[in-house]
Amino acid sequence: MSEFTLDLNDDQRQLRDWLHGFAADVVRPAAAEWDEREETPWPVIQEAAKLGIYSLDFYAQQYFDPTGLGIPMVMEELFWGDAGIALSIVGTGLAAVGVLANGTDEQIGTWVPQMYGDPDDVKLAAFCSSEPDAGSDVAAMRTRAVYDEATDEWVLNGTKTWVTNGGIANVHVVVAVVDPELGPKGHASFIVPPGTPGLRQGQKFKKHGIRASHTAEVVLEDVRVPGHCLLGGKEKLDERLARARERAAERAGGGERVKNAAMATFEASRPAVGAMAVGTARAAYEVALDYARTRSQFGRPIIDNQGIAFQLADMRTGIDAARLLVWRASWMAATSKPFTAAEGSMSKLYASETAKRVTAQAVQILGGNGFTREYPVERMHRDAAIYTIFEGTSEIQRLVIARTLSGVPIR
C-alpha cells in the first residue's frame, strides 16, 4: 500500500510537465476561440488523442496509479490550460467510469473503446443522470426502464438534462428507474449504443462558462436496447433489487440503516472535480500575480500595496490548501481508506469555493482589464462557477459532510 507523500516520483513529474506543455502550447492558445464559438473543440480533442492524452489506456493508467495522484495531476494541468476545452477532453471519462464501476468485463471491453474512438476518428461519450426535476434530488428521477421479456430488451423513456456531450456522443450511459418503490436503489445504468432510434438531443444550453463543453438535454422516446446493455447484467440486478427490498423491509421494521455504496463512489470521484477547480484557480492566480508586478499606478507597481499583495497571499494559500485536500482524498480513495469525515466531499467543497473566490479576486486585481475578454481571467471567473454546481453542489457537499460527521440525517 502506498504511503502518503508529497514527493512526486520521476514518472509523475514527467507526466505533469508533459501535460503542462500540452495545456500551455495547445489548450490555452485555443481557449478564447472555443469559448466564443461555444462548440466542442474537435481538433483539440483529436490532437489530445494523437498524443495519447485522450484514450482509455491513458486514463486507466492514471486511475490505477497506486498513489492516487495520477488523476488529480491530469485534471489540474488540463484545467489550468482551459476549463471548457479540458471538460471536452475528460467528459467522456465520466461515462467510462460508469461502465468501469458497474459493467462486466465484456461490457467494458465492448463499449469503453467505442467511447473514445481512435485518433483519426475520435468519439465522445455522455453520462445521463440529471433530469429537470431530479438534480440534487437523485431519488426524484423519473426516466423509466421497463424489461420486455419477449424480446429481451429494455425500453427507456424520459428526459435527461444538463448532459455533457449529450446527443453528440457515440455512446450514452443512461441511469433509469427499474423499481420506483426503492428510490435510488431501484436505479440501474444502461448503455445506449450508437445510432439507437428514439434517442435525440433536446435543447443545447447556452452557458455562463465552460462554453467549449457541449451541454444538452437528451430525450429518450421508446428507446429499445438489448438486454446485454444493462450494466452488470440482469442476474446481478435482480439480486441487488432483492437485497434492497429485504433491507427496505428491515428498515420499515426498525432495522439498522444501511450505508449507501453510491456515496462511497462519490467520495472517491469528487476529488477529481476539486483538482479541476485547483487548475482554474492556479491559472487565474498566476495571471493576477504577473499583472500585479507589471501594472503601475501612483508611480509604483500595484503589488507594492498590501491591499493587493495580501490578496495574492490569500489566493495562493487557498490554492495550496485545496490541492492538499484533493491529494489526501485521492490517496485515500486509491488506498481504500474509509472516508469517515467525507474527505472526498470536503476536497470538492473547499477547492470549488476557492476557485470561485480566487478567480473573482483575479478579476479585481486586473481592474478594467480583468473585466474584458482581452485577458483570460474574465473567462476563468465564468468557468469557475461550475465547480460549486456539478457533481453535487456546495450545499449538498456540506450536507454530506455534516451527516457523516454527526450521524444525524440533517436536512
Ligand X SMILES: Cc1cc2nc3c(=O)[nH]c(=O)nc-3n(C[C@H](O)[C@H](O)[C@H](O)COP(=O)(O)OP(=O)(O)OC[C@H]3O[C@@H](n4cnc5c(N)ncnc54)[C@H](O)[C@@H]3O)c2cc1C
Size of the site for ligand X (CB under 6 A): 20
* Nearer of residues 363 and 396 to ligand X, judged by Cβ: 396
Using the minimum distance from each CB to ligand X, give the nearer residue, 45 or 69. 45
Please tell me whether residue 393 binds ligand X under the rule CB under 6 A.
yes
Cβ proximity of 124 and 170 under 8 Å: yes
The C-alpha angle 137, 230, 121, rounded to 5 degrees, equals: 95
When computed from its CA atoms, the radius of gyration of the chain, rounded to whole angstroms, is: 22
Q: Tell me which residues are annotated as active site.
A: 391
In the numeric block, the cell 499606478 is attached to: 297
Judged by CB, which is closer to ligand X: 69, or 90? 90
* Dihedral of alpha carbons 238, 242, 248, 252, sign: positive
Looking at residues 276 to 315 of the shown chain, list those that interact with ligand X (rule: CB under 6 A).
none
DSSP single-letter state for residue 4: P
Which stretch in 121-129, 219-227, 297-305, 348-356 sits in contact with ligand X by CB under 6 A? 121-129
**Residue placing its CB nearer to ligand X in the complex, 288 or 351:** 351
Contact range with ligand X by CB under 6 A, out of 12-20, 23-31, 340-348, 394-402:
394-402
Position 350 contacts ligand X (CB under 6 A):
no
HSE, side-chain direction, 13 A CA sphere, residue 232: 15
* Segment 164 to 203, residues that bind ligand X, using CB under 6 A: 164
Q: H or E stretch including 340?
A: none
> Exactly one of 2, 5, 14, 136 binds ligand X (CB under 6 A); which one?
136
The piece of 18-26, 194-202, 283-291, 387-395 that touches ligand X (CB under 6 A) is 387-395
Minimal CA–CA distance to 357: which of 328, 388, 323?
Answer: 388
162 binds ligand X (CB under 6 A): yes
CA gap 247, 287 in Å, rounded: 54
Residue positions counted in the chain = 411
Verify binding: residue 386, ligand X, rule CB under 6 A: yes
Among 55, 62, 88, 215, binds ligand X (CB under 6 A): 215
Going by their DSSP bridges, the two strands 121-122 and 117-118 should be labelled as antiparallel
Stretch that binds ligand X, among 16-24, 33-41, 285-293, 386-394 (CB under 6 A): 386-394
Residue 96 makes contact with ligand X by CB under 6 A: no
CB of 273 to ligand X, least distance (A): 10
Exactly one of 34, 116, 387, 390 binds ligand X (CB under 6 A); that residue is 390
Rounded to an integer, what distance in angstroms lies between the CA atom of residue 409 and that of residue 411?
6
Question: Closest distance between ligand X and the C-beta of residue 53, in Å?
Answer: 20
- Does 163 bind ligand X (CB under 6 A)? Our answer is yes
Amino acid present at 276: M
With CB atoms as reference, the residue minimizing the distance to ligand X is: 135
Q: How far is the CB of 266 from ligand X (least distance, A)?
A: 11
Tell me the three cell numbers of residue 244. Answer: 434492497
Question: What CA–CA distances, in Å, run from 185 to 63, 71, 101, 236, 407?
Answer: 26, 28, 16, 13, 20
> Is residue 135 at the binding interface for ligand X, with CB under 6 A as the rule?
yes
Question: Does residue number 79 form part of the binding site for ligand X (CB under 6 A)?
Answer: no
CB–CB of 79/112 below 8 Å? no
How many other β-carbons are positioned within 10 Å of the β-carbon of residue 353?
18
Q: Which stretch binds ligand X (CB under 6 A): 17-25, 129-137, 315-323, 400-408?
A: 129-137
Strands 171-177 and 125-128: parallel
Q: At what angle do helices 28-37 and 377-384 cross, to 10 degrees?
A: 70
Is 74 one of the binding residues for ligand X (CB under 6 A)? no
Site residues, ligand X (CB under 6 A): 94, 127-130, 135-136, 162-164, 207, 210, 215, 386, 389-390, 393, 395-396, 399
